[in-house]
Structure 1
């Protein structure tokens, strides 16, 4: 076991790099005893639905799935007619990082809009929300927003409400990719329902993998009337787990005693500490507000490549020299200190 621990790295590449939270592992172990009915008829999935009802303040439908791409593709499929299109930010995960699964697997058209900060607005939505009734154009039917965004920015409850009002007035539905939903809730300091169900979001991809679980997400139909056929689409898209209890119990563990908010709040705090440590260094220019668990920055030529010999992180825009540093529930102050010291050393060369 000691040899395995020696293989660990200090990573600021992605919150997917982190391990599993001990409380989640304990919940998995506890759920492992005995038999439960397969395909979601287990007690843990039933409890998850009740927990989600309480969280969102209404009767919702909950569909645990294996991963975030599956949650997005299946959720969006349920909201769209065969001829439908999705308006999203150009930086959206569904547009850049899901290997065209929405188009190839989901059979939908993405209408991507450039944004300065990853956030859509009613005016930006209108750049692609047109051509209704035109048989030559894929029909804009859904607006998809990411909370927090791929650029680490966070929609306020008012911004989500304005998007939902605008989309609904156009006859469109609203989907939220909530891979980092907990980070948004921790940043905003308000109940999650204020920027989801109460704001008018119809279908939510509820994230867990980036916040300390082993695997699994959930599609939450906040407005069940806006989603059709999820029970069939999940199976058809190979996202139906026979031993679903092991997804549901992890999500339950996150929700128990506020673990999901504590973990996300810690990740956010570590990102704020990282930004404070680097933003005044000569040659470093932060490019986006740090509102969640990510820091985006421009570095002088060659610095990122040298720094990556010690720490793992990704380029965001390699041509511009922009990088992304992500913090996790298990990032420590010592990790931050080591990284900042190494960056200072590389900048001095």
Structure 2
């Protein structure tokens, strides 16, 4: 099987993105974001996210998340995150080592946090200089477990953040998948965010992500912090050209729609085998429960990622075909019979 389900990071580059890179690769252009592709990307992001929005292309999602944390927080402040948060569990020590960010974990359900969980952190803070001051919340949209925050859930978190004078960051590595799932725009899928990490690599790009700030105060900070965080590209036109190609038309929607549809098909075919996913399938990830004794063989022989001792994760990509889904289902059926 040449196309698997280990991760949407494992997929290739969309042909239209390669074409965009090739078009940008003509002659010389000013460095560090002074090129026309970055200017066009700036304009497109303002069209999508508002007149005060700014975009900061970076090399990877870790860079976008760490930059976001630094822009939101003072050195004595802390970032709240769900216990299953990618920033908390899968960025190694980058938030701490690069950004000096202290993180505080709260409970979650299917990787989604609640206003009550956020409120508890603020209520428990004693106001002294001896403890980190909670000041911002980060959530993922779609989440690490493939679930999606509804507009009402986003509004409730925004309202709690406002009550506490806190910032809200959205890790949008799969924001396009969340928007397609909800049937809304990218802006609506990230409603209420002061800043967001916008993902491209998981949706057909070659190593291009971005921090988008909606609050102009964060944009001013990010402008300086990106360089000191080693995320300022000299030949930025090649990052911006990719992001522009994704956002200027319907490519982001087309790619995410295909990935989500493949995940939905996989969930349907699993139901035929009597298997219920471990978490609701709302974007492009399916978490498949399997017997603990069979998981090692399944993970070794099928293109899935072992998630826990009894769950494997299958993530569909923009280029996943129905035949890939059927092949995976056949393989699972053989192992589980």
Q: Deviations over 1:170-215 (max 9, x none)?
A: 011111100000001110111222232xx32101111100000011
- CA separation in 2, counterparts of 1:171 and 1:59? 20
Task: State the secondary structure of the residue aligned to 1:336.
Answer: helix
Q: Which residue number corresponds to residue 32 of structure 1?
A: 25
Aligned counterpart in structure 2 of residue 111 of structure 1, from 104, 111, 114: 104
Query: Hey, what does 2:49 align to over in structure 1?
Result: 56
> 2: distance between equivalents of 1:239 and 1:317?
33
Q: State how far apart, in whole Å, the 1-side matches of 2:93 and 2:120 are.
A: 22
Partner of 2:312: 323
Number of residue pairs matched by the alignment? 336
Deviates more, 1:121-130 or 1:27-36: 121-130
CA distance in 2, matches of 1:31, 1:309: 41
- Mapping for residues 1-349 of structure 1, pairs under 5 Å: 9-130=2-123, 131=125, 133-196=127-190, 199-282=191-274, 284-318=275-309, 321-348=310-337
Q: TM-score when scaled to structure 1?
A: 0.93
Contact 1:157–1:195 under 8 Å retained in 2: yes
RMSD: 1.4
In 2, the alpha carbon distance for the partners of 1:114 and 1:13 equals 27
Shift of 1:59: 2.6
1:132 Cα deviation after fit:
5.7
Is the contact made by 2:179 and 2:188 (CA closer than 8 Å) also made in structure 1?
no
- Would you say the 8 A contact 1:72–1:94 is kept in 2? yes
In the TM superposition, residue 301 of structure 1 has moved relative to its aligned partner by 3.0
Residues 248-300 of structure 1, C-alpha deviations (whole Å, 9 max, x = no match): 00011111321001100110000000111113424x34111100000012102
Distance 1:152 1:264 in 2: 13
- For 1:313 and 1:338, locate their aligned partners in 2 and report how far apart those are by CA, in whole Å: 12
Structure 1 segments, 4+ long, off by >3 Å, are: none
C-alpha distance in 2 between matches for 1:242 and 1:108: 26
Contact 1:27-1:249 at 8 Å conserved across structures: yes
On the 8 A contact 2:42/2:55 being kept in 1, the answer is yes
Q: Are the structure 2 counterparts of residues 18 and 48 from structure 1 closer, same or farther at C-alpha, using a change threshold of 3 Å?
A: same
TM superposition score normalised by structure 2: 0.96
CA distance in 1, matches of 2:126, 2:45: 35
Q: Is the 8 A contact 1:63 1:220 kept in 2?
A: yes
CA contact (8 A) 1:173 1:226 kept: no
Greater fraction of residues in helix: 2
What displacement does 1:137 show? 1.2
Q: Please, which runs of 5 or more residues in structure 1 have no aligned partner?
A: 1-7
Q: What SS is found at the alignment partner of 1:229?
A: helix
